[in-house]
Copies of this chain bind each other. A is one copy, B any other.
């Protein structure tokens, strides 16, 4: 059942039927009702390929997925996707993932824009002066950055959490508890979120005349194993920290294992605060010692990203609005006063 058939059976022109269906004003309300009704009754659904050819709109949002044998997709992605899907579902938006060589995403961005495959894209895990952000903002397609870039002479729309504030609060708490040597086990510090977190920790320390030692900050891919290694290295050194801030729950697993391997205890010998993106399958309160966290649901962020993208597509949102979400500090058993 296509438009032509529907129009014919209603004894109307395609024009009118199309306009009635798409809510244009120049059609009689009663006619519109008739059309809507018939469309529903016959299960008419406009062919998206055709609509797309005519309008250039696809009803899909895009994401360029960096892939490669050596590239691992962040497990957070799944949670983000849950949220995004949740919103998208109720708005009949689809998400198209365009896999790209991690070292050459530009080609793919250009392709999906030139081809008008999607109406909008989002970018995640940006670095400072991220080339994707620069590229996409010149390409003239609606977009949103999940996270933040830095160092541009232009603004862009983004949704980020207050990473600096979160780690500032976490570090401040640890300092208040008497800790003088803090360590930060961070994610890849080429990414903005990691930079912000480090900045937050430094600022909190500086407020008490302390500093974050060169050897007390690690920047690694966020795996359990890297959490373990970093912790071993930190705690086996002569100036071992008494408190650790850690950028992910998964790394925190490794931290806990390392502490145990060294016959130390949390929080007796070392306090620990980690960032929690809220996974359904790994909860900080279930760690052997309940873990203090800075908490922010990445799933909610996914839903919000979808919502704002939809708004941008339909022109309801414009300009370079940045949105920063506060982060909760949830104190549990893994922090205590500094050992004597």
Q: Determine the chain B residues whose CB is within 8 A of the CB of A115 once the complex forms.
A: 45, 47-49
Q: Is the CB of B79 within 8 A of A282?
A: no
Q: Give the residues in chain B near A88, CB-CB below 8 Å.
A: 99
What is the distance, in angstroms, from A296's C-beta to the closest C-beta of chain B?
17
Give Cα distance in the complex from A94 to B281, angstroms: 29
A256 to B130 Cα, complex, angstroms: 41
Complex contact A49–B81 (CB within 8 A): no
How far does the alpha carbon of A261 sit from the alpha carbon of B260 in the complex, in Å?
Answer: 14
Partner of A94, one of B114, B117, B224: B117
For A73, the chain B residues whose CB sits under 8 A away are 78-79, 81-82, 85
With both beta carbons as reference points, the residue of chain B lying nearest to A95 in the complex is identified as B97
Asked if A228 CB lies within 8 Å of chain B CBs, one says: yes
Interface majority SS (helix, strand, loop, mixed), chain A: mixed
Is A18 located at the chain interface by the 8 A CB criterion? Answer: no
Q: Which of A282-307 contact B (CB under 8 A)?
A: 282-283, 286, 288
Is A125 an interface position by the 8 A CB rule? Answer: no
The contact string, 1 if C-beta is below 8 Å from chain B, for chain A 196-209, is 00000000000000
Asked if A67 contacts B89 (CB within 8 A), the reply is: yes
Q: Are B283 and A224 in contact (CB under 8 A)?
A: yes
Contact among B56, B82, B93 for A72, CB-based, below 8 A? B82
Task: Give the nearest-CB partner of A93 in chain B.
Answer: B99
CB proximity to B under 8 Å, residues A116-157:
116-117
A67 touches B86 (CB 8 A): yes
Contact with B along A263-289 (1 / 0, CB 8 A): 000000000000000011111001010
**Which residues of chain B are near A114, meaning CB under 8 Å?**
45
Chain A residues engaging chain B, CB cutoff 8 angstroms: 45, 47-50, 52-53, 56, 58, 60, 65, 67-69, 71-75, 77-79, 81-82, 84-86, 88-89, 93-101, 111, 114-117, 222-225, 228, 250, 253-254, 257, 260-261, 279-283, 286, 288
